[in-house]
Structures are given as structure tokens and as C-alpha cells.
Amino acid sequence: MLSAFVVLMVVNLHFQKIDESWCGVALEESRIFATTFASNEKDVFRSLLRELPYNTIFQVVQENDSLTKEILRAIEATIEGRDVSFCFQFTMNRLSSYAQRVLRLTSLIPTGYTTTYGGLAKVAGGSPRSVGRVMATNPFAPLIPCHRVVAADLALCGYGGGLTTKWNILRKEDRNFSRVLEVKINGKTLKLFPITMLRPNKIFAK
């Protein structure tokens, strides 16, 4: 007689206040299921819960291991505009292939630069609006930096944490670069615009 074994997914939720920000991560074993940040613990907890599929078993873990501490420090460093290098593994199998493609492209935008929704669409396929939908539901902010994606006229728009938060992160990331970069990806070109090109009078235009 054959026995059927069901492997249940358990997601561990970790959150911690680092300086003035609460940072959170949901981990499935050693892979990142979701990340987030907010001004308070309750919003971080709610944000992580929203990313869990229905009936997911989860637990809040009070003690953080070395990997978790590294991830939380990377989140805090990103929102503070510091240069961050990491090689974390992200769990994306619950996302559409299109969303995965857009998020992987977004992860290539370096500190000090932005790109546009239309620019990502030219490389990933789809439309600027479809890219915007992926950015709006990015489960890995700010490590996959959707805050570095702006409108075609380089105005800020569409950020779940609010445009003030988006601009605060970007201005901290400004490295005074002046040259537009062109990155070749699968035979297509993604343009990267330095943060210095964002015009203050357009930041809150939308």
C-alpha cells in the first residue's frame, strides 16, 4: 500500500526595527518569499501577510539567523541609499512568467540610475501599463528596486509607499552621475537615466 505524503510549505516571518525603519522578510527555508519596509511594525506584518497565498502556514520568528540579519540589513541599506551587493535567492514560482521577467530586469537597475516603464516594456514585452502592474505588486521591494522605475518624462509616479518615500530613497541614491547608459539585454537596449535627470518640478506631477 502506497502512502501519500504532503509537504506543507511553512513561511517564516521576520521583522526588525533598524534605525528609523521597520524591515521585514518572509522566508521559505533560505529563499526570500517577500520583503517589505514601513514606518511601523504593524504595516510590515500586514504587508508580508498580503504576499502569502491562501492557507499558507506561517510563523513569526523572534530570533534572526545570520541570513535573515543580512537580508534585513540589505533592506535598510537600500532605503537609506547605500550601495548594496547581495546574491539572495527569490521565490518567484507563484508569479507569472511575465512578472518574473520584468522583476529580473528591474533588479539590473543600479544605484544612482532609473529607467522608465516604457523602457522595461521594450525589453520585457508588453506595455508600460503592464509593467506598471508588475511594479505595483512587486513582492520584493526594495531589494528588487521598483522605486527606480519612473514615467516616460522622468516624473515619479505609482509607488505603493507613496511618492514622498520614493523620492526620499532616490535622492539618497543620487551619485551625481550625468551620462545616460544603454544596456544590451537579449539583443534589446534598456536605457538607464541618472537620478540627476529627474526634474524637481515634475516629481509630484502625477
Residue 54 belongs to a domain: yes
DSSP state letter for 173: H
pLDDT at 2: 53
Say how far apart CA 130 and CA 167 lie, in whole Å.
Answer: 22
pLDDT > 70: what percent of the chain?
Answer: 92
Residue 135 belongs to a domain: yes
* Same domain, yes or no: 37 and 124: no
* Same domain, yes or no: 152 and 179: yes
Phi-psi region of 67 (alpha: psi -120 to 50; beta: other; left: phi over 0): alpha
Res 42 pLDDT > 90 = yes
Residue 3 belongs to a domain: no
* Same domain, yes or no: 108 and 73: no
Which residue in 157, 167, 163, 164 sits closest to 195, CA to CA?
A: 167
Domain count, the chain: 2
Res 73 pLDDT > 70 = yes
Residue 2 belongs to a domain: no
pLDDT tens digits for 94-110? 999 999 999 999 999 99
Residue 5 belongs to a domain: no
Better pLDDT: 1 or 74: 74
Say how far apart CA 41 and CA 111 lie, in whole Å.
Answer: 27
Residues 6+ apart with CB under 8 A from 8: 57
* Same domain, yes or no: 102 and 179: yes
Res 80 pLDDT > 90 = yes
Residue 92 belongs to a domain: no
Query: Catalytic residue at 157?
Result: no
pLDDT at 206: 46
Say which of 23, 87, 146, 157 is annotated catalytic. 146
* Same domain, yes or no: 53 and 150: no
Residue 112 belongs to a domain: yes
Cell output for 77: 541599506
- Determine the structural domain holding residue 74 and report its residue range: 10-79
Q: What is the pTM of this model?
A: 0.92
